[in-house]
Amino acid sequence: MTEIEPREILKNSTLIADQREVEAAVEILAEAVNAHYQDQEIILLIVMTGAVMPAAWLASKLKMPIQMDFVHATRYAGQTEGGEIEFRVPPRLNLEGHDVLIIDDIYDIGLTLQMIEGYCESRGARSVNSAVLVRKVHDRETTGKLPEFIGMEVEDKYIFGCGMDVYEHWRHLDEIRALEAD
């Protein structure tokens, strides 16, 4: 496999959402989450690794008491097709009787998010909702259940930045970019 040069990746991309647009999307999420939960305590369950940045930005704007936890989950486990969810790192907090808000970077077709929601419900969470920074708009089949809270919608391209990676690079960008074909 040829080594990928990170700077070339960045050069071969186009801006989808600049820093101000990303900040506006986080603000939209925060207002909706604050309005929904008001002063009700919640557990923020952050989906690793992509949701680290959006979750931190969102958490800093929330008004209710929160506990934070994370989950590292995969449906692939070394295979080319997704199967049952495997938790590389399961949540450490007891979810029973708590209101859980799952934070992820992107909603594409929704399978992993659906499986994490099911896991939380099976652990006795009182309620389970989800929030994503970005929803890809496309005609591909999805789970049919959108996240309750969506910051912005983007076209169906390979995007990176704001927690999303391209070949494990550029998660730290405060803007969203699309990888362009050579």
- Domain residue spans of the chain: 6-179
> Could you tell me the pLDDT band of residue 134, with boundaries at 50, 70 and 90?
very high
Would the pLDDT of 79 be above 80?
Answer: no
Q: Is the pLDDT of residue 74 over 90?
A: no
What is the predicted pLDDT for the residue at 4? 81
Residues 14 and 34: their CA atoms lie apart, in Å, by: 33
> Domain 6-179 maps to which CATH number in 3.40.50.2300, 3.90.1570.10, 1.20.140.10, 3.40.50.2020?
3.40.50.2020
Task: Read off the pLDDT of each residue in 161-170 and give the average, rounded to a whole number.
Answer: 92
Instruction: For residues 33-50, give the mean pLDDT.
Output: 96
* Range 111-114 contact pairs with CB under 8 angstroms and sequence separation of 24 or more: 111/75, 111/82, 111/143, 112/47, 112/73, 112/74, 112/75, 112/82, 112/85, 113/47, 113/143, 113/147, 114/143, 114/145
User: For the chain, what is the mean pLDDT?
Assistant: 91
CA dist., res. 31 & res. 26, Å (int): 9
pLDDT, residue 2, reads: 56
Mean pLDDT of 161-171: 92
